[in-house]
Amino acid sequence: MNDIIKLPFYAKLALILVSLICFGYIFYIGQEILIPILLSFIFAILLRPIAHFIRHKLHFPHVIAVMITVLLFILFFIGLFAFLSLQISEMANDFNKIERNINIHIHNIQQYIREHFNISSREQRQYLDTATEDSMEKGKEMIGTTLMSFTDTLINLILIPIYVFLILLYRTHFMLFFSKLIKKEYHPKLQDILSQIKVAVKSYIVGLIIEMILVSILTTVGFMIIGVKYAILLGIVTGILNLIPYVGILFAGVLSIVASLTGSPDLSIIVGVIVVNIIVQLIDNNVLVPLVVSSKVQINAFVSIVGIIIGGAISGISGMFLAIPIIAILKVIFDRIESLEPWGYLMGDDLPKTYTWRNIKLPLFDSETSVKKIIIKTDITVPMFTETTTENDMSRTNDENLNSQN
């Protein structure tokens, strides 16, 4: 007896849409619980080789190996946070210089508007006061929201190491759970899915770390060349914020422009900061991302942007950071399930990433040269309309009409 029920396309589409809405709603209402768990899952995949090395190469017990791995993980972030805190505290001492230089630029902008648009300084101040009335009224709400977000962040910082420890400790237990959940005939496919998820997530995170280091170095060198104060701090912050796709670099650019005012009110410094950020982003988007990050996870840019926007709308910055790994996991699952394979293909990117020009590999963005020709064979014969066949067909049609009239 065949227990498989075949549904029409519209029914399948309706079930898919309902499932997506349900998963999205569950993720939205449970984001405070799910976000730390997902982040811990990603970090656990990244730290798994370290725990494996400590256990098998150094011959430590499993629990102690996991504890040492998590401790190294915590010490790394404590060291990074301490370095950034020291640098930021030094920058805070120059806050008066920043405020004075900002006032100089505001005065210059007001003077330019007064000379070219005939708007007095008093009218400009009135426009600014009118525009900022609502912002001042909402200031208390924003402060309260910020404090709540800061509290949630502290709680997550405490929970994530605990979750990472437990995931690494019960890794085999979770694997056996999945094996008991799936029928034995599907165990090879399950093993393939889990291994590919591990490879995809780990490769993506490693690629992001390499990209972060390279962007930090390039930005730091660029700021040093143009003479920006706190170049190392701003370079590291730019590399970290660059982990947030498409949005983080904007915040990094604004922060770098504000921090550049600690040295001089000269407008050329601000222009130099903008130019350095643009050059670094061109190198990052056209060289580093295609060769380091996109080579690890084959997801097209359209799906990436849509996923990042949805992740940001659901759970803010954490959702934007988790969007690409979640899409990569879904793609691995979809590619290995026959009924979902079209969705995996939709997420993928089959365009070649580079082309050779004078023995130099460069990014390739020409889709016409890379799209495979898909030939669909049918039993319908396509008529060939030529001059001869058309005349013959017309004469045959006229003869049939005459015969019918007779």
Does the model's pTM come out above 0.85?
no
Confidence of residue 163 (pLDDT cuts 50, 70, 90): very high
C-alpha to C-alpha distances, 270 to 5, 153, 257, 284, 386, nearest whole angstrom = 65, 32, 6, 21, 68
Same domain, 173 and 210: no
- Kindly state whether residue 254 falls inside one of the protein's structural domains: yes
- Kindly state whether residue 21 falls inside one of the protein's structural domains: no
- Kindly state whether residue 328 falls inside one of the protein's structural domains: no
Same domain, 164 and 196: no
Across 168-177, 208-217, 338-347, least confident range:
338-347
Same domain, 156 and 85: yes
Q: Give the β-pairing of 360-363 and 354-357.
A: antiparallel
Same domain, 175 and 233: no
Number of structural domains found in the chain: 2
- Kindly state whether residue 310 falls inside one of the protein's structural domains: no
Confidence of residue 74 (pLDDT cuts 50, 70, 90): very high
Mean pLDDT of the chain: 75
Same domain, 172 and 285: no
What number is the average pLDDT over the span 222-243? Answer: 84
**98-146 tens-digit pLDDT:** 667 667 767 777 777 777 777 776 776 776 666 555 555 554 554 454 4
- With beta carbons less than 8 A apart as the criterion, state whether 38 and 322 touch: yes
Same domain, 166 and 241: no
Same domain, 212 and 266: yes
Q: Taking the alpha carbons of 261, 285, 225, 233 in that order, is the dihedral positive or negative?
A: positive
**180-199 tens-digit pLDDT:** 888 888 888 888 888 888 88
Confidence of residue 394 (pLDDT cuts 50, 70, 90): very low
Same domain, 150 and 214: no
Same domain, 169 and 198: no
Same domain, 176 and 191: no
- Kindly state whether residue 16 falls inside one of the protein's structural domains: no
Same domain, 69 and 104: yes
Structural domain range at position 114: 27-127+143-180
Same domain, 201 and 93: no
Question: What's the DSSP call for residue 57?
Answer: T
